[in-house]
Structure 1
Amino acid sequence: MSIVLIGYMGSGKSTIGRKLAKIVDFEFIDLDDYIQKKENLSIPQIFETKGEIYFRKKEHLYLKEVLQLSNIILSLGGGTPCYGSNMDAILNAEGAHSIYLKSSIPSLVKRLTPEKAQRPLIAHLKTEEELTEFIGKHLFERSFYYSQSNQTVVTDGKSIAVIAEEIVASLF
């Protein structure tokens, strides 16, 4: 079995993924980290030097590669399910179970505000109002893909441990 964590940036995919991997003794893979290692470039460098189309093609290729593995917890980039046929690849991967970590807009704003500078997609946003509007628009656009996940876990007001245990209890 593989567990694929889907959700908006700041929803806890990597943090919860690492916790889950420890609990169930699976390997944790962050797709962005995997791409960076394979390409020997950071994600911003790939975008800057080779462009988004190149990145999205490689993202799809590496996603399919990782989905061949078993006993993994895979954390995706927030946009990964929304491009090309990535969501179909996830849903059709043998033994893969996708989980949408659903966070409310206020929760995402609260989590993302302190780390805005490290997030290129939102670094340019000056006010909390701009960030709220940006996240709301993105979530609206992406919800079609996210909602196709096999399972949805609401993260608001829950600790990492509680979310991880909820996922484990539902799957094992």
Structure 2
Amino acid sequence: MIITLIGYMASGKSTLGKELAVKLDYDFIDLDDYIEVKENTSVSNIFKTKGEIYFRTIETKYLKTLIESKSNLILSLGGGTPCYGNNMNVLLNAPYVKSIYLKASIPTLVARLKNEKRKRPLIAHLETDEQLTEFIGKHLFERTQFYTQAQLTLLTDNKDSTTIVNEIVGQLIQ
């Protein structure tokens, strides 16, 4: 089985994915990290030098490659991955893929992202918490229609990672 974790940036996909992989004895891959290795450059550099369209094209290509591996894998997707290139349908139509939406509230996301802006190309230009809040709110409004198609949705606010991982495992067993 391949378990894909989807959700907005800073929703906990990579952190929880690593813990879930240990608990289930699965491999873990962060799609952005995988892309950086394959392209031999950072995601932010790809955006700067080749543009978002190029990035979204290779993102879809690498997602399909990983999905076709059919191995026991926890795959953390980028926040935008489900929203482009028919990627959500790819996930939903693969019988051995389980998609999980890690849902965090706007205040939780703002709190997690406000000190990480320089590392995140999409929000690096935002100067105030109000701008960040507005940006996240608009983005979530656009992306929620994709995220909510996931087979499972877990609310992550005010929960530690162990609790969330145990909830995921509990849902997978049902």
Q: Does the alignment reach a TM-score above 0.5?
A: yes
- Tell me, which stretches of 5 or more residues in structure 1 are unaligned? none
Q: What is residue 68 of structure 2 aligned with on the other side?
A: 68
Q: How does 1:131-150 map to 2 (within 5 A)?
A: 131-150=132-151
- Tell me, which stretches of 5 or more residues in structure 2 are unaligned? none
Q: CA RMSD in A?
A: 0.9
Aligned length: 172
Deviation at 1:50, TM superposition (A): 2.0
**TM-score of the aligned structures, taking structure 2 as reference length:** 0.96
What CA distance in whole angstroms lies between the structure 2 residues aligned with 1:162 and 1:38? 33
Q: Per the alignment, in what secondary structure is the counterpart of residue 11 of structure 2?
A: coil
Deviations 1:99-151 (A, max 9, x none): 00000000001111121121111111111111110000000000000000000
Q: What is residue 156 of structure 1 aligned with on the other side?
A: 157
Q: What is residue 3 of structure 1 aligned with on the other side?
A: 3
Deviation at 1:51, TM superposition (A): 2.0
Q: Per the alignment, in what secondary structure is the counterpart of residue 41 of structure 1?
A: coil
Report whether the alignment pairs 1:100 with 2:115: no
Report whether the alignment pairs 1:41 with 2:44: no
What CA distance in whole angstroms lies between the structure 1 residues aligned with 2:117 and 2:134? 15
Deviations 1:28-62 (A, max 9, x none): 00000111111111112212222222211111010
What CA distance in whole angstroms lies between the structure 1 residues aligned with 2:129 and 2:78? 23
What CA distance in whole angstroms lies between the structure 2 residues aligned with 1:53 and 1:107? 29
What CA distance in whole angstroms lies between the structure 2 residues aligned with 1:51 and 1:125? 20
The 4+ residue runs of structure 1 with deviation greater than 3 A are none
Q: Per the alignment, in what secondary structure is the counterpart of residue 115 of structure 2?
A: helix
What CA distance in whole angstroms lies between the structure 2 residues aligned with 1:94 and 1:39? 29
The 10-residue stretch of structure 1 (32-41 or 141-150) with the greater mean CA deviation from structure 2 = 32-41
Deviation at 1:94, TM superposition (A): 2.8
What CA distance in whole angstroms lies between the structure 2 residues aligned with 1:118 and 1:147? 27
What CA distance in whole angstroms lies between the structure 2 residues aligned with 1:157 and 1:18? 19
What CA distance in whole angstroms lies between the structure 1 residues aligned with 2:58 and 2:124? 24
Deviations 1:5-24 (A, max 9, x none): 00000100000000000000
Deviations 1:57-99 (A, max 9, x none): 1110100001122210000000000012111111112300000
**TM-score of the aligned structures, taking structure 1 as reference length:** 0.97
Indicate the percent of aligned positions where both proteins have the same amino acid: 62
What CA distance in whole angstroms lies between the structure 1 residues aligned with 2:13 and 2:123? 18
What CA distance in whole angstroms lies between the structure 2 residues aligned with 1:48 and 1:8? 21
